[in-house]
Chain A
């Protein structure tokens, strides 16, 4: 971390040169420096570069923090260190090939990325997907929600010092990844959701393993709560820290557990149900004041609710096809290729050129573990999208970090960042 102390004022607002030579424009006590005041030695501001490489930044987030003693006076996030140009790449690829790209944006909730994009394309195509596919999608998405919250819990507890939580959470996470590997073949970035349904049916034995997992998971969550819920140090660090009012969060566009912890019962699964969420009986955990502790409790309770949804989904899994029948969009089953000429032609066209989507635009939003993950696809009639934009929840949620941290201590900033659950892949895309 490099540090610069302010002594005098350059003409154009705090000349803090970061690693790439950017200029930082400050606010309130910093403005005094910019306006020409010379601060007392006790009041001098120390600007620290909480650089892209730091164990607690949950990815390559850079924060320019102006400190007065231990209190944060100004905070400027600098992002873009893992910007991958995914949206630009997607314009070059057929719709089917966009799915692996979009998956890698918010890299902990890959099923949700896929669902947002695939749901949007299905809306553009006006394609109905079979109920079994819907249930399988919901199942995998809820498993992914638990997985994302487990990684969040492990790494956040690690940031706050509770190292053993990391090992417990990752033990469970490996069980979920085993389930993903069983049904999709890959641990992460599975490319499982396709336009029209899911890629393949779940194998024999998956239901058995899943039920075993669901039977055990609530006990594990009890164990996590036993470690942290009443832990004095955890309470000291998270209670009443990072409180932002509900109205401010709504103004900033913040969604997800952050908003729910502040008391707003807003969850897209309930408000605008997609897939088959209206078939399931689950509740939305809502917090009271929106401090770090509320965010933690909301997410842990969401894990429990996800287990409930998964149990209902696997119990009520309808029989039938797992992908739609429309041969113009969906690959025909392989056994047909040897008997049917049309199937062969469809297969050829789909694999080489891809399916064409009639011109139009659509926006489709899902509730990812971090908030509203929306996907905006513009189709121009060809087999490649004209524009794919993903509205990433972490990108918008990051705007509330300033409100949370200014006026608090540096250590609380670490905690706020942990409870914010930013995923830089989604922020930077």
Chain B
């Protein structure tokens, strides 16, 4: 009785052209039964197998299962806590597992002002993390000292440790932090967001400071122009290679 119902719902030979999904389902069923052969088999395999490079596969795995370290310094820590909260759920991106120990964490979110007393501690924590590791400087204070231009705050965490993503804001909204987090994920995947010069077709508009003040030597000017031409040729090569990408 059940088999009849099933046959009625999914007849083996269908009079009118079945939908694409249905065709794939039937093919998968036949593959499992061992009924598929010949060009059907080849087509099915082509459609359902993905080939990629090891790097990209690892990047995909790393990007979608980042373990942030619970490292809150100041006010931004409260907004960082709220990305774990139900409204701005970072578990959507696979990062809800915040690890306390730096040895188990991938991502250090420097949330808050880095004082001169805390800087060596931050550096030690960063050193304790295992490769691959990333750092997001959350907020204005860890990106650049923020509003505190004084004796006690390190003017930017990238003075003593490498920072991958800077998220502006004081404090940045949780959505802003998640945007920075997504940007980091794309970076890890190997397809980083293009820089603004590329996005706005402004490559080649760099100013050479020394040229403007007239204090550069001739060799420096030549070297700069050579570098600029090299970058321009790379850009044109890349945009030719990936047709359909940003011009």
Contact = CB atoms under 8 A, between A and B. Distances in A.
B171 A84 contact: no
Interface string A174-188: 100000000000011
A6 B120 CA distance: 26
B170 interface: yes
Contacts of A19: 120-121, 124
Interface of B: 70-75, 77-79, 81-82, 84-87, 100, 102, 112-113, 115, 117-118, 120-121, 124-125, 147-153, 170-171, 173
Interface in A391-429: 424-425, 428
A52 B81 CA distance: 18
B81 A55 contact: no
Given A19-B121, A52-B118, A89-B148, 12 more contacts: A51-B121, A60-B118, A84-B153, A104-B74, A104-B75, A107-B75, A151-B81, A170-B86, A174-B85, A187-B79, A187-B171, A189-B75
Of A81, A166, A171, most buried by chain B (CB within 10 Å of CB) is A81
Please list the 9 inter-chain residue pairs (A to B) with the smallest Cβ-Cβ separation, ordered nearest first: A170-B85, A85-B152, A107-B75, A55-B100, A85-B150, A81-B118, A174-B87, A83-B115, A89-B150
Nearest to A103: B75
Nearest to B124: A19
Interface string A51-68: 111110001100000000
B170 A60 contact: no
Contacts of A51: 121
A85 B70 CA distance: 25
Contact of B112 (A80, A82, A89): A82
B117 A171 contact: no
Nearest to B79: A188
29 contacts: A19-B120, A19-B121, A19-B124, A52-B121, A53-B125, A59-B72, A59-B77, A60-B73, A60-B118, A81-B115, A82-B74, A82-B118, A83-B115, A84-B74, A84-B113, A84-B115, A84-B152, A85-B152, A85-B153, A104-B74, A107-B74, A151-B78, A166-B84, A166-B85, A170-B86, A171-B87, A174-B85, A174-B87, A187-B79
A388 B115 CA distance: 20
Nearest to A429: B152
A101 interface: yes
Contacts of A29: none
Nearest to A175: B87
Given A101-B147, A424-B74, A81 B85 contact: no
A144 interface: no
Interface residues of A, number: 38
A188 B171 contact: yes
A16 interface: no
A82 B73 contact: yes
A206 to B, nearest CB: 20
A219 to B, nearest CB: 18
A418 B119 CA distance: 25
Contacts of A155: 81
